[in-house]
Structure 1
Amino acid sequence: MLRRSLVKFFFRKPTAQQRLQTSRSQKQSPKIQVAFQNGSFQVSGLDDWLAHWQEPYYFLITIPWAGFILIATLVYGLINTLFAVAYLLGGNGIANASPGSFWDAFFFSVQTLGAIGYGAMHPITPYAHFLVTLEALTSILFTALVTGLAFARFSLPSVRVMFSDFAVITPYNGVPTLMIRAANQRRNKILEAKLQMYFLRDEISIEGTAIRHIYTLPLLRDHTPSFNLPWTAMHPINEHSPLRGATLESLRQTKAVLLVALTGVDETVAQALHARHTYSVDEILWNQAFVDIFYDSEDGHRYVDFTHFHEVTSTIQSEEASIQ
């Protein structure tokens, strides 16, 4: 009877009212938002951060190197601490160690885990020998895991694509055109590069449902066989563009975001590369154009001046209220 009650308590299904309250609380406190700086989805809150540990491999692969080394160091110290406590619980099982000394037990664990080889201290009891055997197995597994993760991190292809700080809207061939800049910062080339531009904004359906609509913005040129020079991606705002008739205020009200995604193949390692960047409404400059960064030298060669990569200049003195 008691067992049946415990099963009902721990495994009971939530009622419809409880599910409704949970759904409402999730809607009132959204946890996922689009970051405006790096184009990635960022989660807020401690619970969401801890949720990353449900997939520890991807978490340890994607965090910065400093975080990876810190976690590996903490786990290494935790393993030695746990085994040091276990050695102390077995009494005087370590020769030439001070009785009850935590630090002697800790550094004996370090010698065992690192397969350094014993000096004065060594196990002398069956209990200590059993712990040494268990720690040796732990050492093999820990070393293999850390080495494998480090190798996987090194083998991942990294991309260094610089996007302009701002997107601009300026006339091109008589048509208002949305433009962004991208540049490959590595010496090698990105082959079969393809750049896509997306426009996100909040909309209300006929039924009154709020949705986040994603539009694909067609570009005048969305691919290049070899991406080694700066690339200016251009979207003409014509009668087919979702930006047609948009104003700065309307974009702010709909929480509009411009997302740029670039894919390609690394010339050196022949692996796929991905890069993305987002622009908020305030990072889209109207009636502005990028400063020309190409110039010809006296010896007849063409150079790129990256010092002016992010600079813009005004094209129209009086700003229009909307994109006509």
Structure 2
Amino acid sequence: MAQKTKDPGFGYNSKKNAQSVINDDGSSNVNHINRKRNVNDLYTYFIDISWLYFFALIILAYTLLNVIFGILYVAIGIEEITKPKGTFFQDFLNGFFFSAQTLTTVGYGGIAPKGITANFIAAFEAMIGLLSFSFITGMLYGRFSKPKANLRFSENLILRDFKGKQAIMFRLMNSRKTVMIEPEITVTLSITEENKKKEFKRNFYQLKLERSKIMYLPTIWTIVHEIDENSPLYKYSKDQIKNLEAHLYILINYHEESFSQKVYQINSYDFEDLLIDVKYTSASSFDVEGYTVLDHDKLSETEKM
């Protein structure tokens, strides 16, 4: 008989057609409201955002600072740094480019502060530039040095006959060329069911796997849960399993050679993505010299049984 497990952190309450709290890529699908923010959150924010968004924010902040100081130099009198050009736009451009030279501490020498006010502003701006670029350098190092797993999971979750029974399977591989050392995986099944009070509740089960830990993984690992009499899915037919309000939540950890420490990755599957009576095609083969060739494009490829 299947044994329920304690709530793994997702909560028991639910409703019909409730969204998963974990996205397929392992990111959170929870909308936070009334969350208090403070300056300590900045580091986590800049570490976790995408590279495109990170550099877009840097360019935006850099441009905005130069615009502000460019206007400031025009406001105190552009003659404090160079000869006036006669129009506000041309004077602003001179102020903008002088601000860029000061902010980056380049100092080409063509424009220089002459008055005491301009010197004070330039000194203050140079300090802001040094602090800003130190901050950006720290963020870049943090983003590059943050230990991250780089696993790819198959897009499909499959249900097929296996050793005279049925089994649910999915595959994963390491996107890097390094070898995964001692990978260990935990798979939790969440089923949303209606109880006698007409309330929808989540029931959680930790699935027993054919293998939950191996020594190392250079190619592909197929994760298999056999549906036997101890499985929470044993009482359902194939079509019923396909139509369940159910999710798989996956946590895998392994020792990553690149960072010399353990890394973790989360993933999830919705049973709407379940394919029935198919099997995975082989993603590895041997070349003419006998070397193993791993085709990453075949990770999710299936064929009829």
TM-score grouping bracket, smaller chain normalisation = 0.7 to 0.9
CA gap 1:199/1:33 in 2 versus in 1, 3 angstroms: closer
AA at the equivalent of 1:286: I
Residue 248 of structure 2 is aligned to residue 262 of structure 1? no
Residue 185 of structure 2 is aligned to residue 198 of structure 1? no
Residue 75 (structure 1) aligned to one of 27, 42, 61: 61
Q: What's the offset of the Cα at 1:306? A: 4.8
Q: Tell me whether 92-101 or 82-91 shows the greater mean CA deviation.
A: 92-101
Residue 166 (structure 1) aligned to one of 156, 165, 170: 156
Q: What's the offset of the Cα at 1:49? A: 12
Q: What's the offset of the Cα at 1:113? A: 0.4
Cα distance in structure 2, aligned partners of 1:254 and 1:175: 20
- 3-state DSSP of counterpart to 2:65: helix
Query: TM-score scaled to structure 2, two decimals?
Result: 0.80
Query: TM-score scaled to structure 1, two decimals?
Result: 0.76
Cα distance in structure 2, aligned partners of 1:167 and 1:254: 14
Flag the structure with more relative contact order, 1 or 2, with Cα contacts below 8 A and sequence separation at least 6: 2
Residue 141 of structure 2 is aligned to residue 151 of structure 1? yes
**Contact 2:167-2:227 within 8 A present in 1 as well:** yes
Alignment of 1:247-258 (within 5 A): 247=237, 250=240, 255-258=245-248
Residue 301 (structure 2) aligned to one of 298, 305, 311: 311
Cα distance in structure 2, aligned partners of 1:296 and 1:115: 56
Percent identity between the aligned chains? 25
Cα distance in structure 2, aligned partners of 1:98 and 1:112: 20
Residue 46 of structure 2 is aligned to residue 60 of structure 1? yes
Alignment of 1:80-229 (within 5 A): 80-91=66-77, 92-98=79-85, 100=88, 101-204=91-194, 209-229=199-219
Cα distance in structure 2, aligned partners of 1:48 and 1:71: 24
AA at the equivalent of 2:281: V
More helix by share: 1
**Contact 2:157-2:271 within 8 A present in 1 as well:** no
Q: What's the offset of the Cα at 1:262? A: 1.8
CA gap 1:67/1:299 in 2 versus in 1, 3 angstroms: closer
Q: What's the offset of the Cα at 1:313? A: 2.8
**Contact 1:33-1:41 within 8 A present in 2 as well:** no
Residues 27-63 of structure 1: CA distance to partner in whole angstroms, max 9, x if unpaired?
99xx985465413223679x89997998222221112
Q: What's the offset of the Cα at 1:187? A: 1.4
Cα distance in structure 2, aligned partners of 1:248 and 1:265: 37
**Contact 2:242-2:274 within 8 A present in 1 as well:** no
Cα distance in structure 1, aligned partners of 2:149 and 2:223: 19
AA at the equivalent of 1:181: R
Cα distance in structure 2, aligned partners of 1:34 and 1:162: 20
**Contact 1:171-1:177 within 8 A present in 2 as well:** yes
**Contact 1:97-1:121 within 8 A present in 2 as well:** no
- 3-state DSSP of counterpart to 1:122: coil
AA at the equivalent of 1:193: P
Cα distance in structure 2, aligned partners of 1:250 and 1:60: 44
**Contact 1:289-1:314 within 8 A present in 2 as well:** yes
Paired residue total: 287
CA gap 1:304/1:110 in 2 versus in 1, 3 angstroms: closer
Cα distance in structure 1, aligned partners of 2:60 and 2:96: 14
Cα distance in structure 1, aligned partners of 2:35 and 2:66: 27
Residue 28 of structure 2 is aligned to residue 41 of structure 1? yes
Q: What's the offset of the Cα at 1:185? A: 2.5
Q: What residue ranges of structure 1 are gaps of 5+ in the alignment? A: 1-26, 316-324
Residues 76-117 of structure 1: CA distance to partner in whole angstroms, max 9, x if unpaired?
111111112222222242233436421111111111101111
Cα distance in structure 2, aligned partners of 1:270 and 1:68: 26
Cα distance in structure 2, aligned partners of 1:293 and 1:314: 16
**Contact 2:187-2:248 within 8 A present in 1 as well:** yes
**Contact 2:69-2:96 within 8 A present in 1 as well:** yes
RMSD: 3.4
Q: What's the offset of the Cα at 1:180? A: 1.0
**Contact 2:23-2:29 within 8 A present in 1 as well:** no
**Contact 1:53-1:59 within 8 A present in 2 as well:** no
